[in-house]
Amino acid sequence: MPPTASAAVVARPAALSGVLYADPSSSPAAWVAANPSDRRTAAIKTKIVGVPTARWFLQATDAQYVANYVGAAASAGRVPLLVAYDIPLRDCGSYSAGGASSSSAYQSWIRQFAAGIGRASAVVLLEPDSLYYSSCLTAAQLTERLRLLNDAVAVLRAAAPNAVVYLDGGTPVHGTTVAQMASLLKRAGVAGTRGFAVNINNFKTEDVAHNYAASLRTALTAAGVSGSHFLIDTSRNGRQIADTLWCNPSGAAVGARPAWNYGTDGLDGNVWFKHPGESDGACGSAAASTSGQFVPDLAYALATN
């Protein structure tokens, strides 16, 4: 049986009171370590390296790889942020295209991912953009995606009971309305999670993202899903960017550092899912890059704007 609409309404999980883990092998940390004399290093090190960010887990992931990372965080007395990012037909074939080759491959993959977390405390973002960028899917493909997300939620609840899971809640503007996103979240099984995260990989300011998330929570309540909470990705939203710019825009800056900040409207806090300095794709101010590639000039601009 799927979780009831009140399943997400539980006491605050322990993971949401812990100190978040700063991945010592993140791409900004690796670049700074390899370039100690570069003129950009000091700013990147001060403003980006050492700030807790998520590790993204893609196709080449097995239970042991996940367990090693989660174990390192636990040994440091920290809570890791993990992103599961392997849904089939990912990113509508755009810059981050890829994902599992089939539904069965994804179901095997998510079980490996959950098994690697085990009983450890963790915060998990489940498949960013899987709902926000779903307009490219046929009706049958969307139905299958929603089935896979429901399955993933159930698998994580069973195999990783101390993981706090959030679904992709999208970003204000860019087409998908609050009502549409609320419907997709409900159909994807958000009732079995802590809630949703917004502004993933995007640049909307904190107040804009917060207002959108609060409206989305209200819409979910009206749809029969009460008690959802939300996170805001503040990794790159320190300055206002035009609504039409989403891919390596000039003028962006890092935003508020991660912090638990519980609000009466469902806010759980700010986190950095995106690693500042990693490209959105071959576009904007990093047109020669690929999605996910660390670009020092992007990181330096974000750190100094």
Q: Above 70 in pLDDT, residue 149?
A: yes
Selecting among 23, 86, 233, 280, the annotated active-site residue is 280
Task: Output DSSP code: residue 258.
Answer: P
If one counts every other C-beta atom within 10 angstroms of the C-beta of residue 173, the result is: 13
Q: Could you tell me which of 204, 212, 201 has the C-alpha nearest to residue 273?
A: 201
Q: From CA 151, how far away is CA 137, in angstroms rounded?
A: 19
The reported pLDDT for the residue numbered 6 is 43
Q: Above 70 in pLDDT, residue 153?
A: yes
- The domain locations on the chain are 14-34+48-230
- For the chain, what is the mean pLDDT? 92
The reported pLDDT for the residue numbered 176 is 76
Residue with the bigger pLDDT between 117 and 244: it is 117
Identify whether 265 is a catalytic site residue.
no
Of 77-81, 133-137, 256-260, 296-300, the poorest mean pLDDT is in: 133-137
The one-letter code for the residue type at 153 is: V
Q: Determine the average pLDDT of the residues in 115-136.
A: 93
The reported pLDDT for the residue numbered 175 is 65
- Please give the model's pTM, rounded to 2 decimal places: 0.94
| Span 6-19, pLDDT tens digits | 434 457 899 999 99
Known binding residue 206? Answer is no
Contact 271, 51 (CB under 8 A): no
Rounded to 5°, the CA angle 100-119-269 comes to 80
CA distances for 223 relative to 97, 175, 228, 249, angstroms:
32, 20, 12, 36
| Span 65-114, pLDDT tens digits | 999 999 999 999 999 999 999 999 987 766 666 789 999 999 999 999 99
Q: Determine the average pLDDT of the residues in 185-192.
A: 98
Contact 290, 282 (CB under 8 A): yes
Known binding residue 202? Answer is yes
CATH code 3.20.20.40 for 14-34+48-230: yes
The reported pLDDT for the residue numbered 3 is 43
**How far is the first Cα of the chain from the last one, in angstroms, to the nearest whole number?**
50
Contact 45, 32 (CB under 8 A): yes
Selecting among 23, 86, 129, 268, the annotated active-site residue is 129
Q: Determine the average pLDDT of the residues in 178-197.
A: 97
Identify whether 91 is a catalytic site residue.
yes
The reported pLDDT for the residue numbered 235 is 97
| Span 38-51, pLDDT tens digits | 999 999 999 999 99
Q: What percent of the chain has a predicted confidence (pLDDT) above 70? A: 94
The reported pLDDT for the residue numbered 246 is 80
Query: What percentage of the chain's residues is helix, strand, coil (to nearest 5)?
Result: 35, 15, 50
Selecting among 23, 86, 91, 233, the annotated active-site residue is 91
Model confidence at 244, pLDDT cuts 50, 70, 90, reads confident
Known binding residue 109? Answer is no
Identify whether 23 is a catalytic site residue.
no
Q: What percent of the chain has a predicted confidence (pLDDT) above 90? A: 82
Strand blocks (E) in the chain = 55-57, 81-84, 122-126, 163-168, 195-198, 229-233, 259-260, 267-271
